[in-house]
Amino acid sequence: MPWTGPRRLQLDRSRGGIARMAGKSASDVRHCGRAAESSHPPMITLKPVLLHRGSTVGLVALSAPDAAACPRRLQRSIANLKAAGLEVDQGNSTATGIDYLAGTARERAAAFNGLVANPRIGCIMSCVGGENTNAILDLIDYGLFSRSPKAVVGYSDFTALLLALYAHTGCVVFHGPAALPQFGEPCGVDTFTWRQFQKVLFSPYPAGELPFAALTTDEFLEWDVSDVRARVYVKHAGPRTFRGGIAEGVLMCANLDVWLSLHGTHHLPSMEGAIVGIEESDGSTPAAFERKLFAMYAKGMFDGVAGIVFGQLPSACTGGKRRLSDILMDVFEGIRCPIGQGFNFGHTDPQLTLPLGVHARLDCTEPQARLSLLEGAVERRACD
């Protein structure tokens, strides 16, 4: 059954909401750590079954029809997933749809619900992003998903579904690689991306401190036209501290446009006490990035968060005369929680796999910011 009414869930208060600044307690920090004072009962967190060699990945196109428009890239994605030891169900990946959509909202929602209902599917992976995943959120069968949770993975516009699934079911979902962008590369999926995917989704144990890639890229080669070579990678200094301190809380991560589009809806989970991850779209500009951050601030969306982490921003978003540090200084002047920037997630490669709903720690006490996953994101099967 599709969604029939709001079900407001709270973050697990027993595990999150700790924020510490140098020389200050959590109660002294404005806008930080207030979730620990909440009287709401803890939320029961569901976890999907871990993946293994031979698990079946179901592909789904919830917004743009790029998979159907780029058949060579799609087939290369499937081949690379199989080369990694996974089976593949193509789902609705070849749906041509209408213009910028891979089908009507009902068709796209039915494709996702069908993969959830399929007992062979262990992981549901986004083909690619787009701009219209939010249209299907009222049509998702959250009851079915809570009874049969699966690993759901993707980023960009697909994070609208990730936030909604977590809000309605409390199930851990994953901000991570998508089929065409990451697995469709001519040289195969990046080794860093694959190892981090395995570390989080193939093991029930905490991943611990997350590494960073010393070389990254956001070079665009037009799919099925010029994507016949490896993209050019450049040196990456790693995640950096913008505002110091240590925070612990439930990790949540989504695209900046998605955070804003879901504000005021029943599909957005509480951000109070969370470590909030933000990635920006590849077509953005410094002006648009600043406008959207100020919009989140004005809506009170940062009130009560334990910490904030930014993914690597697209080159077009950081190439202006106004520095990123200037933008962040203006937006977050009144917010004193720890803030780190430049983590390997978003419209960049390689990518981390970040589980939404697990307990994490953000350490910004040194110039190099560090993010750690303090609990496992998946569970063993009964027969394991």
Any idea which residues carry the catalytic annotation? 156, 279, 347
Q: Measure Cα distances from 88 to 7, 12, 82, 257, 298 in Å.
A: 33, 34, 7, 30, 43
| Separation CA 123–CA 125 (nearest Å) | 6
- Residues whose CB is less than 8 angstroms from the CB of residue 328 and which lie 6 or more positions away in sequence, other chains included: 242, 293, 339, 341
Per DSSP, what are the bridge partners of residue 37? none
Q: What is the CA radius of gyration of the chain?
A: 19
- Single-letter residue type at 266: H
| Separation CA 239–CA 354 (nearest Å) | 15
| Separation CA 241–CA 167 (nearest Å) | 29
- Cβ atoms of 166 and 357 within 8 Å: the answer is yes
Q: Is 303 helix (H, G, I), strand (E, B) or coil?
A: coil
Q: Is 12 helix (H, G, I), strand (E, B) or coil?
A: coil
Determine the distance from the C-alpha atom of residue 99 to the mean position of all C-alpha atoms in its chain, rounded to a whole number: 26
Per DSSP, what are the bridge partners of residue 274? 250
| Separation CA 184–CA 323 (nearest Å) | 33
| Separation CA 108–CA 273 (nearest Å) | 33
What is the DSSP track for 153-179? Answer: EE-GGGHHHHHHHHHHH-B-EEE---H
Structure-block tokens of residue 191: 């080794």
Q: Measure Cα distances from 311 to 63, 250, 282, 346, 363 in Å.
A: 22, 17, 12, 6, 15
